[in-house]
């Protein structure tokens, strides 16, 4: 099989990260001089310590509501949901300003641990992302998290691909192992979706006697950054790829289920407020909004299976006990 690795520009451009105390001060001054707040195309400000606090962005909030930024790091599979749904709706409802950065959930957790980025809220794609930030050895960044929604892993394909008809007539594991097909996936070392993809390929290789699937599971030539994978598929640079259903719904491309798996393979999205959150009131407001009626409606609109009640690991702060009570 040939798995070419074509080049494509990333779907979103991240704000250059500011490193060091002097750079943080410069970034704060720049924010203070702006007349409007930065939206979700911006990244949270970086700094060497979790307790540093950038100057809040000035906003005009509705009477009795909050103001200022809420820095949210979130799994890259949720870009459309966050930028077009949750973020704008949260701003309108609360007066705060959603300021989000998407990325590989495991890599984001590593950045939090390394203190190269400051954020208020972290949304991962698996409980393991939060576990990597729990306890003294990991910096005590996470003391609780709520698992609020699921999204199954699927194979998505370009409807204009010469292999599109095969996905309608053949099992998925047969099609992705055809000679010449270009299949994309994410890095299993840092991304939960990449790890689930390897599991799916290896399970099918054993169950169906398809050694080509084992090769696909270990071939790094088909590994791409999460935030470019949808764009590559839509541009025709990939014939197929492994995605969560929430990505396929947002990208409007066809999918096939991963039949034959012994247990469901899915994203399990989690949310937590990070220790030392610079904008704690806004962070709490964001959690309440996401798990409230409007946020839950947005989640369902984008194809997520919303958890009711929301399972919680750890001890939830008193300020969030209402929205998470009974979990």
Element (H, E) at 174: helix 172-175
Are 95 and 61 in contact, with CB atoms under 8 Å apart? yes
Cα atoms found within 13 Å of the Cα of residue 152, Cβ hemisphere only: 12
Cα atoms found within 13 Å of the Cα of residue 41, Cβ hemisphere only: 6
Domains and CATH numbers, the chain: 39-53+64-149+269-315 (3.40.190.10), 151-266 (3.40.190.10)
Higher pLDDT among residues 315 and 133, named by residue: 133
Quickly state the pLDDT bin for 28 (edges 50, 70, 90). Answer: very low
Query: Residue 32 has what pLDDT?
Result: 38
Return the top range by mean pLDDT from 50-54, 63-67, 275-279.
Answer: 275-279
Measured between alpha carbons, how far is 249 from 227 in angstroms, rounded to an integer?
15
Element (H, E) at 227: helix 226-234
> pLDDT for 96-140, tens place per residue?
999 999 999 999 999 999 999 999 999 999 999 999 999 999 999
Mean pLDDT of 296-304: 95
Query: Residue 317 has what pLDDT?
Result: 87
Token pair listed for 168 = 């309608």
Position 20 pLDDT exceeds 60: no
167: which DSSP letter?
Answer: H
> pLDDT for 185-207, tens place per residue?
999 998 999 999 999 999 999 99
Position 326 pLDDT exceeds 80: no
Quickly state the pLDDT bin for 325 (edges 50, 70, 90). Answer: low
Query: Residue 42 has what pLDDT?
Result: 40
Token pair listed for 85 = 């749904």
Ordered DSSP codes for 241-282: EEEEHHHHHHHT--EEE-TT-SS--EEEEEEEEPTT-TTHHH
Position 64 pLDDT exceeds 70: no
How many CB atoms are closer than 10 A to CB 107?
Answer: 17
Q: Backbone phi, then psi, for 176, in 5-degree steps?
A: -70, -15
Measured between alpha carbons, how far is 317 from 288 in angstroms, rounded to an integer?
12
Percent of the chain with pLDDT over 90: 71
Q: Tell me, yes or no, if the pTM score tops 0.75.
A: yes
Position 257 pLDDT exceeds 60: yes
Mean pLDDT of 29-57: 40
How far is C-alpha 318 from the chain's CA centre? 27
Measured between alpha carbons, how far is 32 from 61 in angstroms, rounded to an integer?
17
At residue 312, the 3 state secondary structure works out as: strand
Mean pLDDT of 244-265: 94
Closest to 99 in 3D by CA, of 68, 123, 54: 68
Are 76 and 244 in contact, with CB atoms under 8 Å apart? no
């Amino acid at each position: 099989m040939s798995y070419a690795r074509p080049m494509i520009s990333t779907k979103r451009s991240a704000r250059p990260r500011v490193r060091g105390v002097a750079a943080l001060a410069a970034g704060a001054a720049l924010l203070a001089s702006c007349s409007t707040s930065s939206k979700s195309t911006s990244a949270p400000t970086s700094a060497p310590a979790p307790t540093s606090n950038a100057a809040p962005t000035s906003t005009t909030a509705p009477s009795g509501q909050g103001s200022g930024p809420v820095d949210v790091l979130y799994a890259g599979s949720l870009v459309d949901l966050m930028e077009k749904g949750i973020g704008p709706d949260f701003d309108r409802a609360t007066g705060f300003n959603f300021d989000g950065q998407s990325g590989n959930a495991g890599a984001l957790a590593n950045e939090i641990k390394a203190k190269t980025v400051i954020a208020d809220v972290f949304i991962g794609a698996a409980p393991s992302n939060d576990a990597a930030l729990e306890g003294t050895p990991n910096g005590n960044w996470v003391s609780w998290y709520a698992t609020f929604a699921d999204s199954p892993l699927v194979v998505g394909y370009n409807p204009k691909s010469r292999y599109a008809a095969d996905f309608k007539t053949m099992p998925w594991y047969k099609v992705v192992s055809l000679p010449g097909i270009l299949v994309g996936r994410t890095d299993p070392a840092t991304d939960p979706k990449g790890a689930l993809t390897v599991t799916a390929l290896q399970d099918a290789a054993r169950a169906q006697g398809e050694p080509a699937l084992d090769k696909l599971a270990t071939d790094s030539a088909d590994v791409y950054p999460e935030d470019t994978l949808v764009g590559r598929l839509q541009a025709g640079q990939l014939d197929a790829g492994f995605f969560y259903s929430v990505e396929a719904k947002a990208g409007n491309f066809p999918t096939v289920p991963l039949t034959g798996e012994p247990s469901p393979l899915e994203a399990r999205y989690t949310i937590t407020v990070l220790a030392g959150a610079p904008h704690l009131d806004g962070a709490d407001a964001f959690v309440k909004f996401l798990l409230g009626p409007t946020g839950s409606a947005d989640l369902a609109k984008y194809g997520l299976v919303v958890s009711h009640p929301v399972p919680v690991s750890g001890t939830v702060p008193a300020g969030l006990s209402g929205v998470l009570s009974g979990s």
